[in-house]
Amino acid sequence: MKPLLALLLALAGWLPAAAQRSEDFAQRFMSLYADSHALSCTTVSPAMMERVLNLDTLRHDDGARHVISQLRSIRVVTAANASHTDRLLSAADSLASVNRRRYTPRAEGADYAIYVRERRGVLVEVVVFLVDEERRFSMLDFTGNMSEDFLSRLARND
């Protein structure tokens, strides 16, 4: 009995630790709202990002390579129609608020909000909620090992 209890306790300790390999915001959002709001998600995985970085197209573009090299993945979530835009924006804000210790607001405007997740001084996730020209909800989720310089370069168009 005692060895079995020890084994179960060890597993109970290990499983949460293993679960620390977490999901990104877009994945979580999709798991909650994809079915009820007809959301679709386009994913560029870390493996594909590596292949993108090795494309001939980018070989001579140091600026683009510098930016993309800081990315590990991108998810683009798009709503099929504009009927649920406000509800989805609200849901995205709520989800970010609930996880406020994980995601901090970086910028916002009338039709967009940007949240970042920082870990040991590195931006590991940048999440953007926005409304496109057709009033459809859209979410961009960048993960990687991004520095503040990453955002600065994007803002400056370097």
Partner 1 sequence: MDYKYIEQLLSRYWAAETSEAEERILRQFFSQPDVPPQLAAYRDLFVYEAEQESVGLGRDFDERVARLAQEGKSRVVRARRPSLGRRLRPLLHAAAVVAICVVVGDAAQRAFRSNGSQPVWDYNLNSYTDSYDNPQEALETVGGSLRQLHTLLAPEGEVRPDSLARTKTPNAPLP
Of 104, 108, 86, 87, which is closest to residue 96 (Cα–Cα)?
104
Rule CB under 8 A: choose which of 20, 35, 101, 110 binds partner 1.
20
Tell me which long-range contacts 125-130 makes (C-beta under 8 A, separation of at least 24).
Answer: 125/24, 125/25, 126/151, 127/25, 127/26, 127/96, 127/103, 129/89, 129/92, 129/93
Q: Tell me whether residue 79 or residue 91 sits nearer to partner 1 (CB atom).
A: 79
Q: How far is residue 48's CA from residue 60's CA, in Å, rounded to a whole number? A: 19
Enumerate the H helices of 76-140 as residue ranges: 85-98
Give how far Cα 86 sits from Cα of 15, 71, 97, Å. 37, 29, 16
* 23 scored as a contact of partner 1 (CB under 8 A): yes
* 24 scored as a contact of partner 1 (CB under 8 A): yes
User: Which residue do the tokens 């924006």 mark?
Assistant: 89
Number of residues counted as binding partner 1 (CB under 8 A): 69
Angle between helices 25-37 and 85-98 (to 10 degrees): 150
Rule CB under 8 A: choose which of 47, 97, 98, 100 binds partner 1.
47
Q: Tell me whether residue 14 or residue 100 sits nearer to partner 1 (CB atom).
A: 14
77-136 residues in contact with partner 1 (CB under 8 A) are 78, 80, 107, 109, 112, 114, 119-122, 124, 126, 128, 130, 132, 136
Which residues would be at the binding site for partner 1 (CB under 8 A)? 3-4, 6-7, 10-11, 13-14, 17-18, 20-24, 27, 40-49, 51-52, 54-55, 57-58, 61, 63-64, 67-68, 71-74, 76, 78, 80, 107, 109, 112, 114, 119-122, 124, 126, 128, 130, 132, 136, 138, 140, 142-145, 151, 154-157
